[in-house]
């Protein structure tokens, strides 16, 4: 399983005031808020953690069928600005983020080894959804293959895992 999320930093800055009263309390655990406050650039850390939660949520939703808005149940631990984990209940997801070209892009996987199997999807590839979950047809096997797509502002990314 794979999940991804992308944040257009210019659009996030324009549309979201993360410093407003209680914003952090509604989305981030106490432990995550410490990461934000201690960060060299707290705004980048806010969107980095948000992106990690969203990418992990996509896997969690696909595995469990549970949909909803419960960001405080997803808790990030950060090895550094690139690698970390997100836990929810008894599940742990591994995340890899990159911050470049005005965006934060995160991929989440169930097993660290899956980072080596990531395949980007061309935006021109036909994507279809079943119960809100995106798939493509893998023409080598003529089978449906789960994908994760994310878009925000100027950015779009799609990924799947190589068999």
| Whether the predicted pLDDT of 133 surpasses 90 | no
Query: Which tokens in the block code for residue 65?
Result: 């069928």
Rounded Cα–Cα distance for residues 25 and 154 (Å)? 28
Find the range with the poorest average confidence among 65-74, 124-133, 154-163. 124-133
Exposure of 143 in the CB half-sphere (CA atoms within 13 A): 5
Mean predicted confidence (pLDDT) in 76-91: 90
Rounded Cα–Cα distance for residues 61 and 12 (Å)? 24
| Whether the predicted pLDDT of 60 surpasses 80 | yes
| Whether the predicted pLDDT of 140 surpasses 80 | no
What confidence category does residue 65 fall into, taking pLDDT thresholds of 50, 70 and 90?
confident
What confidence category does residue 139 fall into, taking pLDDT thresholds of 50, 70 and 90?
confident
Domain boundaries, the chain: 2-115
Higher pLDDT: 141 or 161? It is 161
What is the architecture, at CATH level 2, of domain 2-115? Alpha-Beta Complex (3.90)
pLDDT digits (tens, 9 = 90+) for 17-55: 999 989 999 999 999 999 999 999 999 999 999 999 999
């Amino acid at each position: 399983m794979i999940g991804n999320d992308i944040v257009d930093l210019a659009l996030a800055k324009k549309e979201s005031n993360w410093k407003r009263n209680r914003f952090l309390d509604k989305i981030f655990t106490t432990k995550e808020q410490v990461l934000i406050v201690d960060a060299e650039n707290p705004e980048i850390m806010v969107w980095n953690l948000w992106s990690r939660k969203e990418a992990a949520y996509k896997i969690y939703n696909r595995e469990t069928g549970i949909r909803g808005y419960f960001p405080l149940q997803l808790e990030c631990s950060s090895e550094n600005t690139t690698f970390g984990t997100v836990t929810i209940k008894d599940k742990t997801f591994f995340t890899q983020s990159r911050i470049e070209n005005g965006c934060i892009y995160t991929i989440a996987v169930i097993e660290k080894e899956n980072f080596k199997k990531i395949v980007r999807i061309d935006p021109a590839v036909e994507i279809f959804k079943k119960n809100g979950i995106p798939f493509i047809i893998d023409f080598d096997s003529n089978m449906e293959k789960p994908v994760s797509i994310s878009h925000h502002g100027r950015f779009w990314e799609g990924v799947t895992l190589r068999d």
